[in-house]
Amino acid sequence: MKLSVETERFRLKRPFRISRGMRREACVLTVRIERDDDTGTGECVPYGRYGETVESVRDSILSLVPPFDRTELDSLLPPGAARNALDCALWDLEAKNSDLPVWKCAGLSPPKPLMTACTISLGSPEEMYEESATRADFPLLKVKLGPSSQSSDQLAAVRDGAPDSRLIVDVNEGWDFEELYRLASELVRFGVEMVEQPLPAGQDNQLAEEQFPFSICADESCHTIDSLEVLPAGYDMINIKLDKTGGLTAALKLKRQAQLLGYKIMVGSMMSSSLAIAPAILVAQDIQIVDLDGPLMLSEDRNDPLHYCDGKVYPADQALWG
């Protein structure tokens, strides 16, 4: 077995803003694992919010000495980006070695195309109107919001630009409880169906004090299956991301346990290429919200990229992954 890792950068079509900052490119780490003339690949996105850097994640990946297999990873590395790339590469390698698709190796049903949200970057009301108007053919838009003082105007602009699209909102921990409570009626007025991580993780116990007329989804507050044991009341949905769980293996376990506990499921991703989205599509089957539009934001994607059409993302060709 031979292990290698490469830093790759994909420029975005336009700057992408959330409440924590702005990006002009997607910076990813690509892992390749070779064995028996086959090569498995996986991708991860180091994320500063969780204390990760490109260098730290790269070092974690290269700290492993081959050979190792997928069942050992959770004892070798903690959940996070490094384990995600390795886990997905090992799934891909297993599929190639066995000449079976990953979904079959994992005991899953054949994946279907999925309706995905399309993300509207945080900006001025004028900027958000322009972007939403160009995305108005998407049935579901995910609107990034920041300081609450502008949120009503920004939502009005998006609704004007895309009058027929369903709306969900992502605040990225940008509000406090009073802001959420104050804006609740405005969110309802504009038809918002779900608000993702409105309060900072660790400061979200207040969510249980109010019954909101829309779903509240945990993102930064829910990383792994262990998070479910301590997740504050008030959330009725969780956002599963492979870079948080540490790979496809852990994401599938988290999905099953969350559904048993009655949570609705959203599957999302970091800013990444088609290679990172391909395994997430397997987790995103038969759930409530899919948010896997990252490749649509790139100026250039992988060879054999995912296919997007009419608001849907299609399962990966095996030439890409799986």
Q: Which residues are annotated as catalytic?
A: 144, 241
3-class DSSP assignment, residue 253: helix
Report the run of H or E that residue 26 belongs to, with start and end: strand 21-35
What residues have CB less than 8 Å from 19, skipping those under 6 apart?
122, 144, 145, 146, 147, 171, 172, 173, 174
* Nearest one of 150, 200, 152, 157 to 141, comparing CA atoms: 157
The CA distances from residue 198 to 90, 104, 148, 203, 320, in Å, are 35, 37, 10, 10, 35
The CA distances from residue 227 to 201, 202, 218, 224, 245, in Å, are 11, 12, 10, 5, 10
* Nearest one of 10, 7, 6 to 274, comparing CA atoms: 10
Residue 133 CA to chain centroid, in angstroms?
24
